[in-house]
Amino acid sequence: MRLALTLVFAATSAAWAGPSGEAPGLLRDWAALNSACRGGRGDDPATLEACARRDALDRRLTAAGWCYGRPGDAGYQRTWRSCAEAGRLGARE
């Protein structure tokens, strides 16, 4: 698992250097880090690092105009989408 996290962190670091139009790469990195964060042991430093890096990508994606879910979505329904699309689609009933 450490090797996989190392590769994900390397990819994330490369994405940080790129222009803000690299949302697909950031979204892919976020998904990998989210899996490592949610699937790792809570006492493993690699898990904590994955969570911290995922949270940093959350902030970067939000600043770039991406939203995680729509108002009214349950947790399992949430996905990343452009905030313009999320607003246009509105809340679920």
pLDDT per residue as tens digits for the range 18-32: 445 788 999 999 999
pLDDT, residue 51, reads 97
Instruction: Write out pLDDT tens, residues 29-74.
Output: 999 999 999 999 999 999 999 999 999 999 999 999 999 998 899 9
- Strands (DSSP E) contained in 1-93 are 66-68, 80-82
Phi-psi bin for 78: left (phi > 0), alpha (psi -120 to 50), beta?
A: beta
Q: Where are the domains of the chain?
A: 2-66
Give the torsion through C-alpha atoms of 23, 77, 68, 35, to 10 deg: -60
pLDDT, residue 2, reads 62
> Residue 15 pLDDT > 50, yes or no?
no
